[in-house]
């Protein structure tokens, strides 16, 4: 797309398709509500 093998992706925290895996759903919830409390409860090491 950019001529250098770069790929552009778009993520929506308001999506309704519900086709993302659980880890992606946790990540999107964290993006929408980035709090220390949410990060502490998340099982994903990417969020912690």
User: Looking at the domain assignment, is residue 14 inside a domain?
Assistant: no
User: Looking at the domain assignment, is residue 45 inside a domain?
Assistant: yes
CA end-to-end distance (rounded Å), the chain: 33
pLDDT averaged over the chain?
84
User: Looking at the domain assignment, is residue 44 inside a domain?
Assistant: yes
- Identify the burial level of 38 via C-beta atoms within 10 angstroms of its C-beta, where 0-12 means exposed, 13-18 middle and 19 or more buried: middle
Q: What's the structural domain count of the chain?
A: 1
User: Looking at the domain assignment, is residue 2 inside a domain?
Assistant: no
CA distance 44 to 24: 9
User: Looking at the domain assignment, is residue 16 inside a domain?
Assistant: no
> In the structure, what pLDDT confidence band is assigned to residue 38 with cuts at 50, 70 and 90?
confident
Average pLDDT over residues 18-44: 86
User: Looking at the domain assignment, is residue 34 inside a domain?
Assistant: yes
pTM here is 0.62
Domain of residue 41, residue span = 21-48
Q: Do 30 and 21 meet the contact criterion of CB atoms below 8 Å apart?
A: no
User: Looking at the domain assignment, is residue 6 inside a domain?
Assistant: no
């Amino acid at each position: 797309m950019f001529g250098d093998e770069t790929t552009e992706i778009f993520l929506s925290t308001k999506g309704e398709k519900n086709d993302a895996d659980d880890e992606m759903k946790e990540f999107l919830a964290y993006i929408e509500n980035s709090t220390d409390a949410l990060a502490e409860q998340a099982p994903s090491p990417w969020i912690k």
